[in-house]
Chain A
């Protein structure tokens, strides 16, 4: 089974965001970059599929050199090969990324392509479905359960307050939601083995961006709230304020 897993590299979720000098992106000084957390569910699913069906897992990422971080983590979890589609600059949007991923993935002729449902930087939930369109493959995002029986797939997708059950056939694109599986912690052996796995670099195709960030701003600082310190004794006053001042209950 040929399995492609797409990974991205993002600031750690504990990062305190500061706006950088351009006013359009974050200040990266001191920021720790990690594999996008949702991509860990995609990599875990990919590796489990390989373990069940044999085959290989190819981790693909689009970005600058930093994107190797995500591929390396995928290696530690059990991916076999990596491809970095090297962006010429930081100026790209989801359309550019999806076009580039699709161009490379098409040549790999995979049985299944896995993504994290969204990356935790721009939270678009866009690239998995868009890449699938460019590949001409069916796709399902926000997936919490995937069952394969030959080329038949049964999929559960999280929706507001419940789930949809879908049927599809391979080849297929899946966007992983938390809950799909429990990502493994790489052990020392797999960490050592990951160091010899190859990352092939490819040049990005030139695809003009369709949207641009003009400004990035932090939320307005909040004034000091009204905080009481007598526990349950303050409840009547709190409820009164919610009713009369905030008018929310």
Chain B
């Protein structure tokens, strides 16, 4: 009988969609497997904020104060330490006999989950996009080769750490009254080594939506002919509330930052809508975006491979089609 522990991440003491998704997944699995589940979170969020998790089925939430955890380090300029998070979650899971630890596969979740798996001696299954229940257990669906194929993976008995790809398994409301229990940093196993690499500064461009988190992405490729023309992509992204993405060709050419690259050596994304502008659709780009729910291709070459994965497409000049789309959507949104 498994016991499931969900790690719910906060940014500045606020839970984001990824936390609600992973709590929902924990509730789903617990129901399927007939097992218990609880949430652990490390922050100084107020009770009202914590109770927001109850809406997604979290009946029991353990909260460890980040300020108290950081105080253990004796480091003046510490914001947080991934190592201390990993140790706190691992020792809590071990002490309370949790054998499944679920995290969202955010950049933070992907950073601490391998440490948790190593510390607890667990299998790790990263980037899961679906659960496949089977008699008495569950296996996991995850992409491989950047989405060129999918694998069904199982943990061979024993413990497992799972990260969920954000934005794929949506949060489901499932009201529960959540009881919050504070845990003391003295009750988890933390040592000076857990602070031997620590974050002293975080800088995030305000208002900039990342492709890995976006529900709509507008991406540009070499068809834009130069970095000076990317405002056409940005303007369409602006009216759609979308993130801007880019092909490898334009990132390698230095037109756009690497953080925007979609594809096998960039980010693998699964938004509801992906608009590919002037992107021919090299196999390594298709790998990174073909699991998007709807794909729109705009390209002047009717034989471009991107049209093979597109749900909708326009064969035409991006310099004419993009401004027309921006105008049309502006009209629609009033």
Which A positions have Cβ atoms within 8 angstroms of B? 11, 13-17, 19, 24, 26, 37-38, 93-95, 98, 120-130, 132-134, 136, 138-142, 144, 155, 157-169, 172, 177-179, 208-219, 222, 225-232, 234-236, 238-239, 241-243, 246, 248-249
Contacts and interface: CB of A to CB of B under 8 A. Distances in A.
A227 B313 CA distance: 4
30 contacts: A11-B145, A13-B146, A15-B145, A26-B145, A127-B114, A129-B111, A129-B118, A130-B115, A130-B117, A133-B119, A157-B107, A158-B259, A160-B106, A161-B209, A162-B205, A165-B201, A167-B197, A178-B266, A210-B160, A211-B123, A212-B156, A214-B151, A216-B151, A225-B312, A232-B316, A239-B329, A242-B273, A243-B332, A246-B273, A246-B311
Given A15-B283, A228-B313, 5 more contacts: A133-B114, A134-B118, A210-B124, A211-B125, A249-B216
A177 B111 CA distance: 13
A129 B115 contact: yes
A52 B310 CA distance: 49
A167 B77 CA distance: 10
B320 to A, nearest CB: 4
Q: Is the interface of B mostly helix, strand, loop or mixed?
A: mixed
A185 B300 CA distance: 34
B283 A16 contact: yes
B316 A234 contact: yes
Nearest to B285: A13
B91 interface: no
B49 interface: no
A248 B208 CA distance: 21
Q: Which 6 A-B pairs have the closest CB atoms?
A: A231-B316, A162-B204, A210-B123, A133-B118, A168-B197, A129-B114
Contact of B197 (A16, A124, A139): A139
Interface in B195-213: 196-205, 208-210, 212-213
